[in-house]
Amino acid sequence: MAIELQQSRLAFSIVSSAARVRVCAPLGKCAGLGNLSRRNFSQAAEALEINEVEARPEVQVKDDKIISPRKFLLGKSEKELQDLCEEMGEKRFRGKQMYLLLYKVRKAEIQEFTNLSKGFREKLISEGWEVGRSPIHHKVNSVDGTIKVLLKLKDSRLIETVGIPADEENNRLTVCVSSQVGCPLRCAFCATGKGGFTRSLKPHEIIEQVLVMEEIFKQRVSNVVFMGMGEPMLNMASVLAAHRCLNEDIGIGQRMITISTVGVPNSIRKLAAHKLQSTLAVSLHAPNQRLREQIVPSAKSYPLDALMEDCKEYFSITGRRVSFEYTLLAGVNDSKELAFELGELLHHWDMSHHVNLIPYNPVADSLFQRPWQKSVQTFVETLAKCRVNASVRQTRGLDANAACGQLRNQFQKTPLEDESLVKSV
């Protein structure tokens, strides 16, 4: 049995390595995806998402025996759960019961599904089914009420999620969710890229971030922003699946969900084709191509004009204004002249928009600095003169390492790629 188990594990390891090689190969020549041509960038991005689907399922080992691959209930619709019950020889109404236990009662383990028979619960477990919830590895509370959590996934990887409560009067709770373990794009000022990149998240790993914050705050989440670790457009299938569940099953309105991107060729148009009523937030950070390439390396593969054209197409198809995120870096992109240039850029493309100015959150070992308040105010006033609607994001959780990626980097860093696999290509 020990030999058979070892051989089985080896077989799974080979399959896993092959899948990872295909991801790593286009990344191996650069510190991320930033230096690829636009065509190669698109191909690498597509390979990254395809290989997440092709990669082997997680397996469970019990008493030196490999049992069924892990499968997760969280993220499935009511109909999918009913179909599952029928396939397993149960009545379809059991699927309705499972649906309520998952999304209304919020049970975290199948053994807690006491509405179901013990035999059915054991059958679900024996066939590899799990709810799909992860334990909290670490939690940090900020003095302003913001809470940052590290979740430990099944493969021991860590991801961040942040709960941001509004003031007591409006009772709003925003959750910032991650879409990947790390990020391959490595924007110059971002802590996430410094921690390396491992893989994209599965739908249930995104959804559970919202559920854990509801449990911590003991209130419903009103807003979800895909602005945590990772590039959502490099994991679009999982992001869209999680979006569907958050909207239809958990009850968060589409207009209360924001999907962000630094810009991946062709992805904004693909997202627009789904005609969601969610906000697109584009990490712009500079009003011209030359400066943007210095701040966002992947911009070399996605010219600013092409990005803006795709944003206008998103607005035309969905009718939703585009939010442009602009991180203010002292002495880099916070000058009055660049504010005027940003105003000219936005007026040229003539779409409904809003500019969200974000004073830089300090990151360890970074050369960038947070701008002076006077510089921020001048930038806002200059945009106002250009008739550009802009606001300054309130800094939250600064004492809790709330800059994306900072907390994870204290506990876990991973290389951008597995060097041994890259050398074998």
Dump pLDDT digits (tens) for 347-377: 999 999 999 999 998 777 788 999 999 999 9
Per-residue pLDDT, averaged over 75-90, amounts to 98
Question: Which residues participate in catalysis according to the annotation?
Answer: 160, 404
What's the rounded Cα separation, in Å, for the pair 87 and 291? 56
Beta bridge partners of 259: 226, 280
Position 155 pLDDT exceeds 60: yes
Beta bridge partners of 149: 139, 161
CB 128, CB 69: distance < 8 Å = yes
Please report the pLDDT score of residue 60 as a whole number.
57
Burial of 177: CB neighbours in 10 Å, binned 0-12, 13-18, 19+: buried
Please report the pLDDT score of residue 219 as a whole number.
95
What single string gives the DSSP state of each residue in 188-236?
TT-HHHHT-EEEEPPHHHHHHHHHHHHHHHTS---EEEE-SSS-GGGGH
Q: How many Cβ atoms are within 10 Å of 248's Cβ, its own excluded? A: 13
What's the rounded Cα separation, in Å, for the pair 357 and 351? 18
Per-residue pLDDT, averaged over 17-31, amounts to 35
Tokens of 88: 């397993």
Per-residue pLDDT, averaged over 179-187, amounts to 92
Confidence of residue 223 (pLDDT cuts 50, 70, 90): very high
What's the rounded Cα separation, in Å, for the pair 198 and 208? 19
Residue 217 identity = F
Q: Which of 2-16, 39-53, 154-168, 314-328 has the highest mean pLDDT?
A: 314-328
**pTM of the shown model:** 0.84
Beta bridge partners of 158: 152
What's the rounded Cα separation, in Å, for the pair 223 and 221? 6
Please report the pLDDT score of residue 319 as a whole number.
96
Burial of 263: CB neighbours in 10 Å, binned 0-12, 13-18, 19+: buried
Residues 6+ apart with CB under 8 A from 212: 133, 136, 149, 151, 161
CB 225, CB 176: distance < 8 Å = yes
What's the rounded Cα separation, in Å, for the pair 28 and 412? 21
CA 391 to mean position of chain CA atoms = 24
CB 88, CB 109: distance < 8 Å = no
Please report the pLDDT score of residue 21 as a whole number.
32
Position 265 pLDDT exceeds 70: yes
Tokens of 355: 């500019």
Please report the pLDDT score of residue 85 as a whole number.
98
- Using one digit for the tens of pLDDT, what is the confidence trace for 91-103? 999 999 999 999 9
What's the rounded Cα separation, in Å, for the pair 33 and 292? 15
Q: Return the higher-pLDDT residue of 196 and 42.
A: 196
Please report the pLDDT score of residue 67 as a whole number.
52
Burial of 94: CB neighbours in 10 Å, binned 0-12, 13-18, 19+: buried
Confidence of residue 421 (pLDDT cuts 50, 70, 90): very low
Closest CA to 192 of 210, 179, 203, 205: 179
Between 48-57, 73-82, 257-266, the lowest mean confidence (pLDDT) is in: 48-57
Position 280 pLDDT exceeds 70: yes
Confidence of residue 236 (pLDDT cuts 50, 70, 90): very high
Class (C level, CATH) for 136-420: alpha beta
Position 5 pLDDT exceeds 50: no
Position 317 pLDDT exceeds 60: yes
What's the rounded Cα separation, in Å, for the pair 318 and 272? 7
Closest CA to 408 of 235, 161, 234, 212: 161
Q: How many residues does the chain have?
A: 425
Q: Which of 57-71, 179-193, 283-297 has the highest mean pLDDT?
A: 283-297
Please report the pLDDT score of residue 184 as a whole number.
93
Confidence of residue 35 (pLDDT cuts 50, 70, 90): low
Position 260 pLDDT exceeds 90: yes
In the chain, domain spans: 2-68, 75-130, 136-420
Span between the terminal Cα atoms of the chain, in Å = 33
CB 382, CB 336: distance < 8 Å = yes
Q: Give me the chain's average pLDDT, please.
A: 84
Q: Return the higher-pLDDT residue of 191 and 286.
A: 286
Please report the pLDDT score of residue 144 as a whole number.
87
Position 243 pLDDT exceeds 80: yes
Between 43-47, 107-111, 287-291, the lowest mean confidence (pLDDT) is in: 43-47
What's the rounded Cα separation, in Å, for the pair 356 and 324? 6
Confidence of residue 27 (pLDDT cuts 50, 70, 90): very low
What kind of architecture, by CATH, is found in domain 75-130? Orthogonal Bundle (1.10)
Please report the pLDDT score of residue 416 as a whole number.
45
Helix (H) or strand (E) holding 102: helix 93-103
| pLDDT > 90 fraction of the chain, expressed in percent and rounded | 69
Q: Name the packing angle between helices 236-244 and 38-54 (round to 10°).
A: 60
Residues 6+ apart with CB under 8 A from 7: none
Max CA separation in the chain (angstroms): 75
What's the rounded Cα separation, in Å, for the pair 374 and 291? 22
Residues 6+ apart with CB under 8 A from 79: 95
Closest CA to 24 of 1, 55, 2: 55
Please report the pLDDT score of residue 296 as a whole number.
94
CB 245, CB 207: distance < 8 Å = yes
Residues 6+ apart with CB under 8 A from 363: 189, 190, 191, 194, 403, 405, 406
